[in-house]
Amino acid sequence: MTVETAQPAPAVQSADGTPAEGTPADEAFWEEPGASDDGDPAGSAHGIVAQGTPKDVVTQGTANDAATQSSSNDVVAQDARDFGAYVRAGGWAFALKVARSVRPGGEAAGETAKISAKDFAELAGCSPERVMRYYKAWDKAADDGLVPYFEALAPGQDVELPDSDVWHSYYISRSSAASDRGTAIAAAAEAEGIRPTKALEVAENPTALRAAILADPSTAQAARAALLDRLKEDPALQTELARDIARTDDLKKAVATETQAASRIGYVRQIVENGQVKTPAGQTIEATSELRAEAERHLSLIDELDEGEDTGEWASDAYDTVKDLVAQTVQADPELRLQERRTKFYSSLQKATKVFEELTFDDVDDLDTIYEDDMLQRLEELQQAVGMCITALRKAAPTS
């Protein structure tokens, strides 16, 4: 059934004078007409009759009408106005208007005379969601071979349309796209340059998605990349994934290994980018030219690794090499070596002080309940060591 449309007669309007928008049930307003009075079949190229409307609403034309338009933009705008006027009618005739005028996912604005669903909706005076419902119905039918794909259609082009009795099955089958969830999926699909119905079909069948991930490494990689992108904006998913990792021993070990590798690479990268390095005692010093050159060489080797390659061994090699050079730098400079010893001693003193301060008997009513000979012996040894340290420091203290 080839449908050709021209400028419509008075549009179906709501009480407020604007083109009315109905529910899927309103699609029954258009039916496959019977034979006309003059014997021509109503499904011929002479037009479509709307049930319950005057016969002067019937639009007529030929396939050459589109060629007489001043420009393809005029044809697109006309399709949008027709769609808005008969938005209550629905059916394949109006799905065709969308299919031949709305730009499919993956096509840039400059590559085609078609327009976006949003712009089409503005010209039609209806919502983009309603346009997309017709879009998705046509897309599903194209997948089944009933109609041409969007890419094969040009503005104003007429094609053979399926029987009207199959319209509702395709329109209803994609009605889930009207939900908040479906709208979000459709928007994400368009942003990725794919047809929204493809993403909706996957979302409606999680078991199929799971099977593809389990069976196909490339699908698993795509799922991993998508999850990482979603994790950035989904704190709840972050928590759930972290909990899953913490409860899985193999994953915990893998995370610990990768964390160590990332930390070592970060240590080397800081030398290259900031020109500074931390010594074993924790003091920050300026990196020598030799140290920076060696760090840069190792870092370049790591950056050239393929995405799937294991960086653990490379990170360890770079870290060990840089640490040896740092130690050599410290030993070669007497002043720096002295400062390193002082920093290390003071760091150990702070740690020991903190540990001893945490040792308390405040919560114990009777010391005899926790007493052990070993406790007293260790404290006495500690007291002697602290005393010796104090004596040595007093001797080293400068005299006034």
pLDDT digits (tens, 9 = 90+) for 107-163: 676 777 899 899 999 999 998 888 888 898 899 899 999 999 998 999 999 888 888
Residue 183 and residue 268 in one domain:
no
Alpha-carbon distance of 277 to 284, in angstroms, equals 6
Instruction: For 33-100, give the DSSP string.
Output: --B-TTS-BTTSTT--PPTTS-GGG-----TTTGGGSS-HHHHHHHHHHHHHHTTTT-SHHHHHHHHH
Residue among 398, 282, 276 nearest 340 (CA): 282
Note whether 235 and 256 are same-domain residues.
no
| CA–CA distances in Å: residue 28 to residues 46, 233, 327, 348 | 21, 43, 84, 84
Instruction: Note whether 72 and 96 are same-domain residues.
Output: yes
Is the Cβ–Cβ distance between 151 and 104 less than 8 Å? yes
Overall domain count for the chain: 4
CA distances from 206 to 140, 210, 211, 319 (A): 19, 6, 9, 44
- pLDDT tens digit sequence for 335-357: 888 888 888 888 888 888 888 87
pLDDT, averaged across the chain: 76
**By the 8 A CB rule, do 171 and 26 touch?**
no
The verdict on residue 271 lying in a domain is: yes
158 and 275 share a domain? no
Task: Note whether 126 and 157 are same-domain residues.
Answer: yes
What does the pLDDT read at residue 240?
93
pLDDT at site 28: 35
120 and 215 housed in the same domain: no
**Domain closes at, from 192, 217, 236:** 192
Establish if 19 belongs to a structural domain.
Answer: no
How far apart, in Å, do the first and last CA atoms of the chain sit? 110
pTM of the model: 0.41
172 is a domain residue: yes
Q: List, for residues 288-326, the tens digit of each pLDDT value.
A: 888 889 899 998 888 888 777 788 888 899 999 988 988
Provide the percentage of residues in the chain whose pLDDT is more than 90: 17
Helices (H), the chain: 72-85, 92-101, 117-124, 128-143, 167-173, 180-191, 196-203, 206-215, 217-231, 235-246, 249-274, 289-303, 312-332, 334-358, 373-396
Cβ pair 280, 343 in contact under 8 A:
no
Q: What pLDDT sits at residue 147?
A: 93
48 lies in some domain:
yes
Boundaries of domain holding 92: 24-192
* Domain termination site, one of 336, 371, 386: 336
Q: What tokens does 374 get?
A: 């070993």
**Position 45 confidence tier, pLDDT thresholds 50, 70, 90:** very low
CA–CA dist 27, 30 (Å, integer): 6
The arithmetic mean of pLDDT across residues 177-202, rounded, is 76
Whether residue 294 lies inside any domain: the answer is yes
For the cut 90, the answer to whether the pLDDT of residue 216 exceeds it is yes
